[in-house]
Structure 1
Protein backbone atom coordinates (compact mmCIF):
# COMPACT_ATOMS: atom_id res chain seq x y z
CA UNK A 1 0.00 0.00 0.00
CA UNK A 2 1.44 3.38 -0.96
CA UNK A 3 1.35 6.18 1.60
CA UNK A 4 -1.43 8.72 1.13
CA UNK A 5 -0.98 12.48 1.07
CA UNK A 6 -0.13 14.40 4.23
CA UNK A 7 -3.12 15.13 6.48
CA UNK A 8 -5.28 18.17 5.78
CA UNK A 9 -3.91 19.87 8.89
CA UNK A 10 -0.78 20.54 6.86
CA UNK A 11 -2.28 21.88 3.63
CA UNK A 12 -0.17 24.45 1.74
CA UNK A 13 -0.55 28.00 3.04
CA UNK A 14 0.65 31.52 2.47
CA UNK A 15 4.45 31.68 2.29
CA UNK A 16 4.40 34.69 4.62
CA UNK A 17 3.53 32.44 7.52
CA UNK A 18 6.30 31.93 10.07
CA UNK A 19 6.15 28.14 10.28
CA UNK A 20 8.31 25.85 8.22
CA UNK A 21 7.00 22.31 8.23
CA UNK A 22 10.38 20.96 7.17
CA UNK A 23 11.94 22.06 10.46
CA UNK A 24 10.70 19.34 12.80
CA UNK A 25 13.61 16.99 13.54
CA UNK A 26 12.96 13.78 15.47
CA UNK A 27 15.05 13.68 18.63
CA UNK A 28 13.68 10.49 20.19
CA UNK A 29 13.94 6.89 19.05
CA UNK A 30 11.02 5.14 17.42
CA UNK A 31 9.79 2.66 20.06
CA UNK A 32 9.91 -1.06 19.33
CA UNK A 33 6.45 -2.38 20.15
CA UNK A 34 6.72 -5.61 18.16
CA UNK A 35 6.55 -7.77 21.29
CA UNK A 36 3.24 -6.19 22.28
CA UNK A 37 1.35 -6.08 18.98
CA UNK A 38 -0.66 -9.21 19.59
CA UNK A 39 -1.73 -8.21 23.10
CA UNK A 40 -3.73 -10.50 25.36
CA UNK A 41 -7.23 -9.04 25.10
CA UNK A 42 -8.30 -10.31 21.69
CA UNK A 43 -7.71 -6.80 20.32
CA UNK A 44 -4.32 -6.36 18.62
CA UNK A 45 -2.14 -3.84 20.40
CA UNK A 46 -4.01 -4.01 23.71
CA UNK A 47 -2.61 -5.80 26.78
CA UNK A 48 -4.24 -5.99 30.21
CA UNK A 49 -2.40 -6.73 33.45
CA UNK A 50 -4.77 -7.72 36.26
CA UNK A 51 -3.69 -7.51 39.88
CA UNK A 52 -6.44 -9.91 40.96
CA UNK A 53 -7.46 -7.41 43.64
CA UNK A 54 -10.44 -5.02 43.63
CA UNK A 55 -9.83 -1.67 42.01
CA UNK A 56 -10.52 0.41 38.91
CA UNK A 57 -9.86 -0.55 35.31
CA UNK A 58 -7.41 2.06 34.03
CA UNK A 59 -6.79 2.21 30.28
CA UNK A 60 -3.70 3.97 28.91
CA UNK A 61 -3.98 4.71 25.18
CA UNK A 62 -1.16 5.77 22.87
CA UNK A 63 -0.86 6.20 19.09
CA UNK A 64 -4.35 7.54 18.45
CA UNK A 65 -2.16 9.53 16.05
CA UNK A 66 0.45 7.29 14.50
CA UNK A 67 3.30 9.80 14.63
CA UNK A 68 2.88 10.73 18.32
CA UNK A 69 5.36 8.15 19.52
CA UNK A 70 6.24 9.40 23.02
CA UNK A 71 3.21 7.75 24.62
CA UNK A 72 3.98 4.45 22.90
CA UNK A 73 7.56 4.61 24.17
CA UNK A 74 6.43 4.99 27.79
CA UNK A 75 3.85 2.19 27.53
CA UNK A 76 6.50 -0.06 25.98
CA UNK A 77 8.79 0.73 28.94
CA UNK A 78 6.12 -0.43 31.38
CA UNK A 79 5.33 -3.55 29.38
CA UNK A 80 9.00 -4.52 29.09
CA UNK A 81 9.27 -4.08 32.87
CA UNK A 82 6.21 -6.36 33.25
CA UNK A 83 4.57 -3.73 35.43
CA UNK A 84 1.49 -5.10 37.22
CA UNK A 85 -0.78 -2.80 39.24
CA UNK A 86 -1.08 -3.23 43.00
CA UNK A 87 -4.86 -3.17 42.63
CA UNK A 88 -7.43 -3.26 39.82
CA UNK A 89 -6.64 -3.78 36.13
CA UNK A 90 -4.33 -1.81 33.88
CA UNK A 91 -4.61 -1.88 30.07
CA UNK A 92 -1.88 -0.64 27.74
CA UNK A 93 -3.08 0.31 24.26
CA UNK A 94 -1.43 1.08 20.92
CA UNK A 95 -4.33 2.42 18.88
CA UNK A 96 -3.48 3.33 15.27
CA UNK A 97 -0.98 0.59 14.46
CA UNK A 98 -1.38 1.04 10.71
CA UNK A 99 -0.39 4.71 10.84
CA UNK A 100 2.46 3.98 13.25
CA UNK A 101 3.80 1.35 10.85
CA UNK A 102 4.32 4.17 8.32
CA UNK A 103 6.24 6.38 10.74
CA UNK A 104 9.52 7.55 9.27
CA UNK A 105 11.74 9.99 11.12
CA UNK A 106 12.63 11.63 7.79
CA UNK A 107 8.96 12.43 7.02
CA UNK A 108 7.31 12.32 10.46
CA UNK A 109 4.26 14.41 9.55
CA UNK A 110 2.95 11.91 7.00
CA UNK A 111 1.86 9.22 9.48
CA UNK A 112 -0.58 11.05 11.73
CA UNK A 113 -3.32 8.91 10.20
CA UNK A 114 -4.07 6.89 7.09
CA UNK A 115 -7.57 8.00 6.01
CA UNK A 116 -8.90 10.27 8.75
CA UNK A 117 -8.15 11.58 12.23
CA UNK A 118 -8.86 8.76 14.68
CA UNK A 119 -9.55 11.35 17.37
CA UNK A 120 -12.60 12.76 15.58
CA UNK A 121 -14.74 9.60 15.17
CA UNK A 122 -15.97 8.89 18.71
CA UNK A 123 -19.69 9.58 18.41
CA UNK A 124 -22.46 7.01 18.13
CA UNK A 125 -23.53 8.19 14.68
CA UNK A 126 -20.12 7.23 13.31
CA UNK A 127 -19.30 4.25 15.52
CA UNK A 128 -22.62 2.54 14.82
CA UNK A 129 -23.13 3.84 11.28
CA UNK A 130 -22.32 2.31 7.91
CA UNK A 131 -19.42 4.53 6.85
CA UNK A 132 -16.04 2.82 6.79
CA UNK A 133 -12.43 3.93 7.02
CA UNK A 134 -9.31 2.37 8.46
CA UNK A 135 -9.41 4.61 11.54
CA UNK A 136 -13.14 4.28 12.08
CA UNK A 137 -12.96 0.50 11.77
CA UNK A 138 -10.14 0.44 14.32
CA UNK A 139 -12.16 2.63 16.71
CA UNK A 140 -15.02 0.15 16.41
CA UNK A 141 -12.59 -2.67 17.17
CA UNK A 142 -11.29 -1.13 20.39
CA UNK A 143 -14.61 0.37 21.54
CA UNK A 144 -15.71 -2.72 23.57
CA UNK A 145 -12.56 -2.48 25.67
CA UNK A 146 -12.95 1.27 26.11
CA UNK A 147 -16.47 0.57 27.34
CA UNK A 148 -15.01 -1.33 30.32
CA UNK A 149 -12.72 1.52 31.44
CA UNK A 150 -13.30 3.32 34.71
CA UNK A 151 -10.49 5.77 33.92
CA UNK A 152 -8.84 6.42 30.55
CA UNK A 153 -5.73 8.48 29.87
CA UNK A 154 -5.14 9.34 26.20
CA UNK A 155 -1.47 10.15 25.55
CA UNK A 156 -0.64 12.80 22.95
CA UNK A 157 2.04 15.30 21.97
CA UNK A 158 1.88 18.52 19.95
CA UNK A 159 3.36 19.75 16.70
CA UNK A 160 3.74 23.43 17.61
CA UNK A 161 5.55 24.93 20.61
CA UNK A 162 3.30 24.80 23.64
CA UNK A 163 3.37 24.28 27.36
CA UNK A 164 2.20 20.74 28.24
CA UNK A 165 -1.45 20.54 29.28
CA UNK A 166 -4.02 18.12 30.64
CA UNK A 167 -7.35 18.33 28.82
CA UNK A 168 -10.18 17.18 31.06
CA UNK A 169 -13.12 17.68 28.71
CA UNK A 170 -16.34 19.18 30.08
CA UNK A 171 -17.04 16.71 32.91
CA UNK A 172 -16.64 17.31 36.63
CA UNK A 173 -14.95 13.93 37.18
CA UNK A 174 -12.40 14.65 34.46
CA UNK A 175 -11.59 18.01 35.99
CA UNK A 176 -11.27 16.50 39.48
CA UNK A 177 -8.85 13.80 38.34
CA UNK A 178 -6.74 16.16 36.23
CA UNK A 179 -6.35 18.59 39.13
CA UNK A 180 -5.28 15.73 41.40
CA UNK A 181 -2.65 14.55 38.93
CA UNK A 182 -1.36 18.12 38.47
CA UNK A 183 1.25 17.09 35.93
CA UNK A 184 1.30 18.85 33.59
CA UNK A 185 0.39 21.67 35.94
CA UNK A 186 -1.94 23.35 33.43
CA UNK A 187 -5.44 21.85 33.28
CA UNK A 188 -7.81 22.89 30.51
CA UNK A 189 -11.54 22.16 30.42
CA UNK A 190 -12.99 22.17 26.92
CA UNK A 191 -15.65 20.58 24.73
CA UNK A 192 -13.51 19.33 21.86
CA UNK A 193 -13.56 20.17 18.17
CA UNK A 194 -16.16 21.08 15.57
CA UNK A 195 -14.66 18.41 13.30
CA UNK A 196 -15.71 15.46 15.46
CA UNK A 197 -15.57 13.88 18.90
CA UNK A 198 -12.32 12.86 20.56
CA UNK A 199 -11.91 9.63 22.49
CA UNK A 200 -12.36 11.51 25.77
CA UNK A 201 -15.65 12.93 24.41
CA UNK A 202 -17.04 9.42 23.79
CA UNK A 203 -20.32 8.85 25.63
CA UNK A 204 -18.78 6.34 28.04
CA UNK A 205 -16.95 9.20 29.72
CA UNK A 206 -20.09 10.97 30.83
CA UNK A 207 -20.08 8.25 33.53
CA UNK A 208 -16.47 7.08 33.65
CA UNK A 209 -13.45 9.42 33.51
CA UNK A 210 -11.44 10.30 30.42
CA UNK A 211 -8.58 12.80 30.26
CA UNK A 212 -6.05 13.65 27.56
CA UNK A 213 -2.41 14.56 28.14
CA UNK A 214 -0.60 16.80 25.65
CA UNK A 215 2.97 16.30 26.82
CA UNK A 216 4.77 18.89 24.71
CA UNK A 217 6.21 18.91 21.22
CA UNK A 218 6.38 15.72 19.20
CA UNK A 219 9.75 14.00 19.09
CA UNK A 220 11.41 15.99 21.87
CA UNK A 221 12.95 14.26 24.94
CA UNK A 222 10.95 16.56 27.23
CA UNK A 223 7.75 14.99 25.89
CA UNK A 224 8.98 11.57 26.99
CA UNK A 225 9.75 12.85 30.48
CA UNK A 226 6.39 14.58 30.78
CA UNK A 227 4.46 11.55 29.54
CA UNK A 228 6.28 9.32 32.02
CA UNK A 229 5.48 11.74 34.86
CA UNK A 230 1.78 11.91 33.94
CA UNK A 231 1.41 8.14 33.69
CA UNK A 232 3.24 7.71 36.99
CA UNK A 233 0.97 10.29 38.66
CA UNK A 234 -2.14 8.44 37.47
CA UNK A 235 -0.85 5.06 38.64
CA UNK A 236 -0.03 6.56 42.04
CA UNK A 237 -3.39 8.36 42.28
CA UNK A 238 -5.33 5.15 41.55
CA UNK A 239 -3.33 3.06 44.02
CA UNK A 240 -1.69 1.00 41.30
CA UNK A 241 1.79 2.24 42.14
CA UNK A 242 3.24 2.83 45.58
CA UNK A 243 5.36 5.95 45.30
CA UNK A 244 5.73 9.24 47.16
CA UNK A 245 3.98 12.22 45.58
CA UNK A 246 6.09 14.96 44.04
CA UNK A 247 6.40 18.31 45.80
CA UNK A 248 3.24 20.38 45.37
CA UNK A 249 3.33 22.86 42.52
CA UNK A 250 1.02 25.71 41.52
CA UNK A 251 -1.76 24.57 39.20
CA UNK A 252 -3.28 26.68 36.44
CA UNK A 253 -6.87 25.92 35.48
CA UNK A 254 -8.60 27.46 32.50
CA UNK A 255 -11.97 26.98 30.83
CA UNK A 256 -12.17 27.13 27.05
CA UNK A 257 -14.86 29.60 26.00
CA UNK A 258 -14.26 29.81 22.26
CA UNK A 259 -13.00 27.17 19.83
CA UNK A 260 -11.81 28.97 16.71
CA UNK A 261 -12.31 26.81 13.61
CA UNK A 262 -10.82 27.97 10.32
CA UNK A 263 -13.60 29.05 7.94
CA UNK A 264 -11.24 29.65 5.04
CA UNK A 265 -7.92 28.32 3.79
CA UNK A 266 -6.44 31.77 4.47
CA UNK A 267 -6.22 31.60 8.26
CA UNK A 268 -3.09 33.48 9.36
CA UNK A 269 -1.86 34.32 12.87
CA UNK A 270 -0.22 37.70 13.32
CA UNK A 271 2.85 35.99 14.77
CA UNK A 272 4.04 32.61 16.03
CA UNK A 273 2.04 32.39 19.24
CA UNK A 274 2.96 29.65 21.72
CA UNK A 275 0.44 27.41 23.43
CA UNK A 276 -0.28 28.60 26.96
CA UNK A 277 0.56 32.20 26.08
CA UNK A 278 -1.72 34.71 27.83
CA UNK A 279 -2.83 37.80 25.92
CA UNK A 280 -3.28 40.60 28.50
CA UNK A 281 -5.96 42.79 26.89
CA UNK A 282 -9.38 42.06 25.47
CA UNK A 283 -9.99 42.84 21.80
CA UNK A 284 -6.37 42.12 20.84
CA UNK A 285 -6.08 41.09 17.20
CA UNK A 286 -4.36 37.70 16.98
CA UNK A 287 -5.27 36.36 13.52
CA UNK A 288 -7.13 36.82 10.26
CA UNK A 289 -9.42 34.14 8.83
CA UNK A 290 -9.67 35.42 5.29
CA UNK A 291 -11.24 38.85 5.73
CA UNK A 292 -12.42 38.14 9.30
CA UNK A 293 -10.47 39.43 12.27
CA UNK A 294 -9.92 37.07 15.22
CA UNK A 295 -9.66 38.99 18.49
CA UNK A 296 -9.40 38.01 22.14
CA UNK A 297 -12.80 38.17 23.86
CA UNK A 298 -11.57 39.16 27.34
CA UNK A 299 -8.52 40.22 29.34
CA UNK A 300 -5.95 37.55 30.30
CA UNK A 301 -6.99 35.24 27.49
CA UNK A 302 -5.03 31.98 27.26
CA UNK A 303 -4.24 30.60 23.80
CA UNK A 304 -4.62 26.83 23.92
CA UNK A 305 -2.60 24.88 21.34
CA UNK A 306 -2.61 27.36 18.45
CA UNK A 307 -2.02 25.56 15.15
CA UNK A 308 0.25 27.86 13.19
CA UNK A 309 -0.64 26.20 9.91
CA UNK A 310 -4.30 25.28 9.64
CA UNK A 311 -6.77 24.61 6.85
CA UNK A 312 -10.50 24.95 6.36
CA UNK A 313 -12.59 23.14 8.98
CA UNK A 314 -9.77 22.49 11.43
CA UNK A 315 -9.29 23.96 14.90
CA UNK A 316 -6.94 26.95 14.75
CA UNK A 317 -6.83 27.79 18.46
CA UNK A 318 -8.93 27.58 21.60
CA UNK A 319 -9.40 30.64 23.80
CA UNK A 320 -9.60 30.01 27.53
CA UNK A 321 -10.47 32.06 30.59
CA UNK A 322 -8.31 31.56 33.68
CA UNK A 323 -10.25 30.33 36.70
Structure 2
Protein backbone atom coordinates (compact mmCIF):
# COMPACT_ATOMS: atom_id res chain seq x y z
CA UNK A 1 0.00 0.00 0.00
CA UNK A 2 1.09 3.56 -0.70
CA UNK A 3 -0.08 6.72 1.04
CA UNK A 4 -0.78 10.31 0.04
CA UNK A 5 -1.24 13.51 1.99
CA UNK A 6 -4.78 14.87 2.14
CA UNK A 7 -4.59 18.31 0.61
CA UNK A 8 -2.10 20.60 2.31
CA UNK A 9 -2.79 18.95 5.68
CA UNK A 10 -0.47 16.67 7.59
CA UNK A 11 -2.91 13.73 7.35
CA UNK A 12 -1.87 10.75 5.22
CA UNK A 13 -4.44 8.34 3.81
CA UNK A 14 -4.05 5.04 2.00
CA UNK A 15 -4.29 5.28 -1.79
CA UNK A 16 -7.04 2.68 -1.58
CA UNK A 17 -9.77 3.33 0.97
CA UNK A 18 -12.44 0.84 1.96
CA UNK A 19 -16.05 2.05 1.85
CA UNK A 20 -19.26 0.33 2.88
CA UNK A 21 -21.99 2.14 0.96
CA UNK A 22 -24.70 -0.28 -0.28
CA UNK A 23 -22.96 -3.26 1.32
CA UNK A 24 -22.64 -3.35 5.12
CA UNK A 25 -25.95 -3.56 6.93
CA UNK A 26 -27.78 -4.11 3.66
CA UNK A 27 -26.41 -6.10 0.71
CA UNK A 28 -23.82 -8.12 2.65
CA UNK A 29 -24.24 -10.17 5.81
CA UNK A 30 -22.14 -9.02 8.74
CA UNK A 31 -19.82 -12.01 8.78
CA UNK A 32 -18.96 -11.36 5.13
CA UNK A 33 -18.61 -7.64 5.81
CA UNK A 34 -16.09 -8.35 8.56
CA UNK A 35 -14.16 -10.63 6.22
CA UNK A 36 -13.94 -7.81 3.67
CA UNK A 37 -12.70 -5.35 6.30
CA UNK A 38 -10.08 -7.88 7.44
CA UNK A 39 -8.95 -8.32 3.85
CA UNK A 40 -8.57 -4.55 3.53
CA UNK A 41 -6.58 -4.33 6.77
CA UNK A 42 -4.36 -7.24 5.70
CA UNK A 43 -3.65 -5.42 2.42
CA UNK A 44 -2.50 -2.30 4.26
CA UNK A 45 -5.64 -0.20 3.87
CA UNK A 46 -5.84 2.26 6.75
CA UNK A 47 -8.62 4.57 5.51
CA UNK A 48 -12.24 3.52 6.01
CA UNK A 49 -15.20 5.51 4.74
CA UNK A 50 -18.85 5.31 5.72
CA UNK A 51 -21.84 7.60 6.41
CA UNK A 52 -24.69 7.76 8.87
CA UNK A 53 -27.25 7.35 6.07
CA UNK A 54 -25.79 4.10 4.74
CA UNK A 55 -28.33 1.39 5.57
CA UNK A 56 -29.98 4.04 7.79
CA UNK A 57 -27.08 4.03 10.31
CA UNK A 58 -26.50 0.24 10.25
CA UNK A 59 -23.38 0.50 8.07
CA UNK A 60 -21.58 2.63 10.65
CA UNK A 61 -22.38 0.08 13.35
CA UNK A 62 -21.09 -2.82 11.25
CA UNK A 63 -17.88 -0.95 10.45
CA UNK A 64 -17.39 -0.06 14.11
CA UNK A 65 -17.69 -3.69 15.14
CA UNK A 66 -15.46 -4.81 12.27
CA UNK A 67 -12.66 -2.46 13.34
CA UNK A 68 -12.98 -3.21 17.06
CA UNK A 69 -9.65 -4.32 18.51
CA UNK A 70 -7.56 -2.54 15.89
CA UNK A 71 -5.05 0.10 16.99
CA UNK A 72 -7.15 3.26 16.65
CA UNK A 73 -4.17 5.50 15.89
CA UNK A 74 -3.34 3.38 12.84
CA UNK A 75 -6.72 4.06 11.19
CA UNK A 76 -8.36 6.98 9.45
CA UNK A 77 -12.10 6.67 10.03
CA UNK A 78 -14.25 8.90 7.82
CA UNK A 79 -17.99 9.44 7.96
CA UNK A 80 -20.55 11.95 6.72
CA UNK A 81 -23.65 13.94 7.64
CA UNK A 82 -26.53 15.39 5.61
CA UNK A 83 -29.05 12.84 4.39
CA UNK A 84 -32.11 11.87 6.46
CA UNK A 85 -31.63 9.35 9.25
CA UNK A 86 -33.94 8.03 11.96
CA UNK A 87 -37.69 8.51 11.55
CA UNK A 88 -37.24 11.37 9.10
CA UNK A 89 -38.36 14.32 11.22
CA UNK A 90 -37.70 17.91 10.10
CA UNK A 91 -34.38 18.05 11.96
CA UNK A 92 -33.24 14.57 10.97
CA UNK A 93 -31.47 15.83 7.86
CA UNK A 94 -29.35 18.63 6.46
CA UNK A 95 -26.50 20.70 7.84
CA UNK A 96 -28.14 22.63 10.63
CA UNK A 97 -26.20 22.94 13.87
CA UNK A 98 -28.71 20.66 15.57
CA UNK A 99 -28.46 17.89 13.00
CA UNK A 100 -24.66 18.09 12.72
CA UNK A 101 -24.13 17.92 16.49
CA UNK A 102 -26.62 15.12 17.07
CA UNK A 103 -25.38 13.16 14.06
CA UNK A 104 -21.72 13.46 15.04
CA UNK A 105 -22.35 12.15 18.54
CA UNK A 106 -24.49 9.28 17.22
CA UNK A 107 -21.80 8.36 14.67
CA UNK A 108 -19.14 8.29 17.38
CA UNK A 109 -21.22 5.80 19.37
CA UNK A 110 -21.93 3.58 16.38
CA UNK A 111 -18.31 3.58 15.27
CA UNK A 112 -17.07 2.90 18.79
CA UNK A 113 -14.54 5.72 18.78
CA UNK A 114 -13.84 8.97 20.62
CA UNK A 115 -13.10 10.95 17.48
CA UNK A 116 -13.69 10.99 13.73
CA UNK A 117 -10.62 11.54 11.57
CA UNK A 118 -12.52 13.09 8.66
CA UNK A 119 -16.08 14.39 9.04
CA UNK A 120 -17.70 15.28 5.74
CA UNK A 121 -20.73 17.29 4.63
CA UNK A 122 -22.41 14.67 2.44
CA UNK A 123 -24.00 17.35 0.23
CA UNK A 124 -24.38 21.13 0.27
CA UNK A 125 -27.41 22.38 2.23
CA UNK A 126 -29.13 25.23 0.36
CA UNK A 127 -31.61 25.74 3.21
CA UNK A 128 -29.10 26.50 6.00
CA UNK A 129 -26.65 29.43 6.20
CA UNK A 130 -23.19 28.16 5.36
CA UNK A 131 -21.84 30.06 8.39
CA UNK A 132 -24.05 27.99 10.72
CA UNK A 133 -22.76 24.77 9.19
CA UNK A 134 -19.10 25.74 9.35
CA UNK A 135 -19.31 27.05 12.93
CA UNK A 136 -20.89 23.75 14.03
CA UNK A 137 -18.04 21.86 12.35
CA UNK A 138 -15.54 24.21 13.98
CA UNK A 139 -16.97 23.48 17.41
CA UNK A 140 -16.60 19.73 16.84
CA UNK A 141 -12.97 20.27 15.85
CA UNK A 142 -12.27 22.39 18.92
CA UNK A 143 -13.89 19.74 21.13
CA UNK A 144 -11.50 17.12 19.71
CA UNK A 145 -14.35 15.01 18.33
CA UNK A 146 -13.37 15.68 14.70
CA UNK A 147 -9.80 16.09 13.43
CA UNK A 148 -10.32 17.14 9.80
CA UNK A 149 -13.26 18.27 7.68
CA UNK A 150 -14.37 17.47 4.16
CA UNK A 151 -17.27 17.87 1.78
CA UNK A 152 -18.89 15.61 -0.79
CA UNK A 153 -20.28 16.51 -4.19
CA UNK A 154 -19.99 20.27 -3.63
CA UNK A 155 -19.58 22.54 -6.64
CA UNK A 156 -16.44 24.59 -7.17
CA UNK A 157 -18.24 27.73 -6.01
CA UNK A 158 -19.51 26.02 -2.85
CA UNK A 159 -16.05 24.64 -2.09
CA UNK A 160 -14.52 28.10 -2.49
CA UNK A 161 -17.07 29.64 -0.10
CA UNK A 162 -16.61 26.87 2.45
CA UNK A 163 -12.81 27.12 2.27
CA UNK A 164 -12.94 30.87 2.91
CA UNK A 165 -14.99 30.34 6.07
CA UNK A 166 -12.70 27.49 7.15
CA UNK A 167 -9.70 29.81 6.93
CA UNK A 168 -11.54 32.45 8.93
CA UNK A 169 -12.44 29.88 11.59
CA UNK A 170 -8.96 28.31 11.42
CA UNK A 171 -10.24 24.79 10.87
CA UNK A 172 -8.85 22.15 8.46
CA UNK A 173 -11.13 21.74 5.42
CA UNK A 174 -8.99 19.28 3.47
CA UNK A 175 -11.04 17.12 1.10
CA UNK A 176 -13.91 16.64 -1.31
CA UNK A 177 -15.55 13.28 -2.00
CA UNK A 178 -16.96 13.16 -5.53
CA UNK A 179 -17.89 10.42 -7.94
CA UNK A 180 -14.98 10.05 -10.34
CA UNK A 181 -14.01 7.38 -12.83
CA UNK A 182 -13.12 6.90 -16.49
CA UNK A 183 -16.78 7.36 -17.45
CA UNK A 184 -17.67 10.19 -15.03
CA UNK A 185 -15.21 13.10 -15.14
CA UNK A 186 -17.43 16.03 -14.21
CA UNK A 187 -15.04 17.32 -11.53
CA UNK A 188 -12.09 17.88 -13.85
CA UNK A 189 -13.04 21.26 -15.32
CA UNK A 190 -14.00 23.23 -12.19
CA UNK A 191 -13.94 21.23 -8.94
CA UNK A 192 -10.37 19.93 -9.16
CA UNK A 193 -8.87 23.36 -9.95
CA UNK A 194 -10.85 24.91 -7.07
CA UNK A 195 -9.62 22.22 -4.67
CA UNK A 196 -6.04 22.65 -5.82
CA UNK A 197 -6.28 26.38 -5.08
CA UNK A 198 -7.76 25.70 -1.63
CA UNK A 199 -5.33 22.96 -0.64
CA UNK A 200 -7.90 20.16 -0.78
CA UNK A 201 -7.69 16.64 -2.21
CA UNK A 202 -10.26 14.31 -3.72
CA UNK A 203 -11.26 11.06 -2.02
CA UNK A 204 -13.24 9.57 -4.89
CA UNK A 205 -16.12 7.14 -4.83
CA UNK A 206 -17.22 4.73 -7.58
CA UNK A 207 -13.79 4.41 -9.27
CA UNK A 208 -15.09 1.32 -11.12
CA UNK A 209 -18.46 2.92 -11.97
CA UNK A 210 -20.54 0.66 -9.75
CA UNK A 211 -18.82 -2.38 -11.22
CA UNK A 212 -19.36 -1.50 -14.89
CA UNK A 213 -15.63 -0.95 -15.43
CA UNK A 214 -14.91 -4.51 -14.29
CA UNK A 215 -16.42 -5.74 -17.56
CA UNK A 216 -18.96 -7.93 -15.77
CA UNK A 217 -21.87 -6.39 -17.67
CA UNK A 218 -22.23 -7.30 -21.36
CA UNK A 219 -24.49 -5.71 -23.96
CA UNK A 220 -27.54 -7.87 -24.65
CA UNK A 221 -26.95 -10.10 -21.62
CA UNK A 222 -28.75 -10.16 -18.27
CA UNK A 223 -26.73 -8.76 -15.32
CA UNK A 224 -24.85 -11.44 -13.39
CA UNK A 225 -26.76 -12.78 -10.35
CA UNK A 226 -25.82 -10.93 -7.18
CA UNK A 227 -24.32 -7.97 -9.07
CA UNK A 228 -25.03 -4.32 -8.24
CA UNK A 229 -27.50 -4.12 -11.14
CA UNK A 230 -29.68 -6.74 -9.44
CA UNK A 231 -29.63 -5.08 -6.00
CA UNK A 232 -33.18 -4.05 -5.10
CA UNK A 233 -31.96 -2.07 -2.07
CA UNK A 234 -30.89 0.83 -4.25
CA UNK A 235 -27.79 -0.37 -6.05
CA UNK A 236 -29.59 -0.97 -9.34
CA UNK A 237 -30.70 2.65 -9.51
CA UNK A 238 -27.13 3.92 -9.32
CA UNK A 239 -25.63 1.58 -11.89
CA UNK A 240 -28.29 1.84 -14.60
CA UNK A 241 -26.89 5.09 -16.05
CA UNK A 242 -23.78 3.16 -17.13
CA UNK A 243 -25.56 0.19 -18.74
CA UNK A 244 -26.28 1.62 -22.18
CA UNK A 245 -24.99 -0.29 -25.20
CA UNK A 246 -22.52 2.46 -26.17
CA UNK A 247 -20.99 2.58 -22.69
CA UNK A 248 -20.68 -1.20 -22.50
CA UNK A 249 -19.09 -1.24 -25.96
CA UNK A 250 -16.55 1.33 -24.78
CA UNK A 251 -15.72 -0.81 -21.75
CA UNK A 252 -15.14 -3.79 -24.04
CA UNK A 253 -12.59 -1.74 -25.96
CA UNK A 254 -10.65 -1.33 -22.71
CA UNK A 255 -10.01 -5.08 -22.34
CA UNK A 256 -6.95 -5.28 -24.59
CA UNK A 257 -5.55 -2.14 -22.96
CA UNK A 258 -5.84 -3.73 -19.51
CA UNK A 259 -4.20 -6.90 -20.83
CA UNK A 260 -1.40 -4.83 -22.31
CA UNK A 261 -0.80 -3.23 -18.90
CA UNK A 262 -0.92 -6.57 -17.09
CA UNK A 263 -3.97 -5.47 -15.09
CA UNK A 264 -7.55 -6.58 -14.70
CA UNK A 265 -10.18 -4.11 -15.90
CA UNK A 266 -11.00 -3.23 -12.29
CA UNK A 267 -7.33 -2.62 -11.46
CA UNK A 268 -6.96 -0.45 -14.56
CA UNK A 269 -10.00 1.61 -13.53
CA UNK A 270 -8.76 2.21 -9.98
CA UNK A 271 -5.23 2.94 -11.16
CA UNK A 272 -6.64 5.44 -13.69
CA UNK A 273 -8.24 7.66 -11.03
CA UNK A 274 -5.04 7.58 -9.00
CA UNK A 275 -3.13 9.11 -11.92
CA UNK A 276 -4.88 12.40 -11.09
CA UNK A 277 -2.49 14.14 -8.72
CA UNK A 278 -5.37 15.82 -6.87
CA UNK A 279 -6.80 12.40 -5.94
CA UNK A 280 -5.52 11.23 -2.57
CA UNK A 281 -7.53 8.01 -2.32
CA UNK A 282 -9.96 5.85 -4.27
CA UNK A 283 -12.76 4.22 -2.29
CA UNK A 284 -13.48 0.60 -3.14
CA UNK A 285 -16.43 -1.41 -1.92
CA UNK A 286 -16.67 -5.16 -1.80
CA UNK A 287 -19.10 -7.95 -1.15
CA UNK A 288 -16.34 -10.59 -1.12
CA UNK A 289 -12.76 -10.49 0.22
CA UNK A 290 -11.33 -11.52 -3.15
CA UNK A 291 -12.66 -8.25 -4.62
CA UNK A 292 -10.61 -6.37 -2.06
CA UNK A 293 -7.51 -8.42 -2.84
CA UNK A 294 -7.85 -7.64 -6.55
CA UNK A 295 -8.57 -3.92 -6.32
CA UNK A 296 -5.84 -3.03 -3.82
CA UNK A 297 -3.26 -4.13 -6.39
CA UNK A 298 -3.96 -0.83 -8.19
CA UNK A 299 -2.09 1.06 -5.44
CA UNK A 300 1.22 2.38 -6.67
CA UNK A 301 0.53 1.53 -10.32
CA UNK A 302 1.70 4.18 -12.79
CA UNK A 303 0.07 4.27 -16.23
CA UNK A 304 2.06 5.50 -19.21
CA UNK A 305 0.86 8.57 -21.11
CA UNK A 306 0.26 6.50 -24.24
CA UNK A 307 -2.04 4.18 -22.30
CA UNK A 308 -3.96 7.11 -20.82
CA UNK A 309 -4.51 8.47 -24.35
CA UNK A 310 -5.60 5.06 -25.59
CA UNK A 311 -8.18 4.85 -22.79
CA UNK A 312 -9.64 8.20 -23.86
CA UNK A 313 -9.82 7.03 -27.47
CA UNK A 314 -11.48 3.74 -26.50
CA UNK A 315 -14.24 5.45 -24.52
CA UNK A 316 -14.75 8.38 -26.87
CA UNK A 317 -18.02 10.26 -26.46
CA UNK A 318 -19.48 8.05 -23.70
CA UNK A 319 -17.54 9.99 -21.05
CA UNK A 320 -19.65 12.46 -19.02
CA UNK A 321 -17.78 15.72 -18.44
CA UNK A 322 -20.50 18.32 -17.77
CA UNK A 323 -19.59 20.14 -14.51
CA UNK A 324 -23.29 20.92 -13.98
CA UNK A 325 -23.78 17.27 -13.02
CA UNK A 326 -22.23 18.09 -9.62
CA UNK A 327 -25.21 19.24 -7.58
CA UNK A 328 -26.99 18.91 -4.25
CA UNK A 329 -30.76 18.62 -3.71
CA UNK A 330 -32.74 21.77 -3.10
Give the TM-score normalised by structure 1. 0.29
Relative to total residues, which structure has the larger strand share, 1 or 2?
Answer: 1
Relative to total residues, which structure has the larger helix share, 1 or 2?
Answer: 2
Give the TM-score normalised by structure 2. 0.29
